Amino acid sequence: MPTNPNLDRLAACLSRLPGVGRRSAERMARRLVRDRDGLLNDLSSSLAAAASTLTACGLCGSVTGRDENPCRLCTDPSRDASLLCVVEDPGDIAGIEESGGFRGRYHALMGSIAPAKGIGPRDLRVRALMDRLGDGSVKEVLLALDTDVEGDATAAFLAEFLRGKGVRVTRLAFGLPAGSGVAYSDPVTLSRAIRGRQEA
């Protein structure tokens, strides 16, 4: 079926978003164009506003206003500047904040090491992490990375890279999710839970 180049370009842009495949992007693009007076105009103005007012925090990488850079989390004097939590994506910061269990500062790598995708340490914000450790105020780096192959590879690389830099390197504990049962857990999760067991 012949298509319009502008529609194709819109679908191609949408397909670059995380979790959006080619077919879903094509459906979204057609839906946006059909609903011209509603969602398309709202989306267009929202994108323009985001482009002009939002940016990535120069320290942690989280989304912040252009007039508030570094962000509130990086400038809040009540947060523990000696504890730095390293995450893969700025979205992970929001999840950790919602838990209420962390009062330090953050650093988003903007990805993880994935050789199959051509992503190595130089493609991540590792140099920016080293710059943040330069003044000696950070005493502990908490690696809050995914527990998949890429997250484990990234954690291993960072742990080795940070060895001898004068900081303690820790990783989030692994174990059973709250409300879950042993019978429903996979072998890797159970094995990590046993290795990370604590005093009762």
87 Cβ neighbours under 8 A, 6+ residues apart: 93, 96, 106, 107, 108, 109, 144, 145
How far is residue 27's CA from residue 61's CA, in Å, rounded to a whole number? Answer: 31
Do 46 and 91 fall within a single domain? no
Do 33 and 68 reside in the same domain of the chain?
Answer: no
Residue 185 placed within a domain: no
pLDDT, tens digit, for every residue of 121-146? 999 999 999 999 998 999 999 999 98
Give the total number of structural domains in the chain: 2
Task: Give yes or no: residues 34 and 100 share one domain.
Answer: no
Dihedral over Cα of 144, 147, 151, 153: its sign: positive
Query: Does some domain include residue 188?
Result: no
CATH code of 45's domain: 1.10.8
pLDDT tens, residue by residue, 59-103: 999 999 999 999 999 999 999 999 999 999 999 999 899 988 899
The answer on 111 and 46 residing in a single domain is no
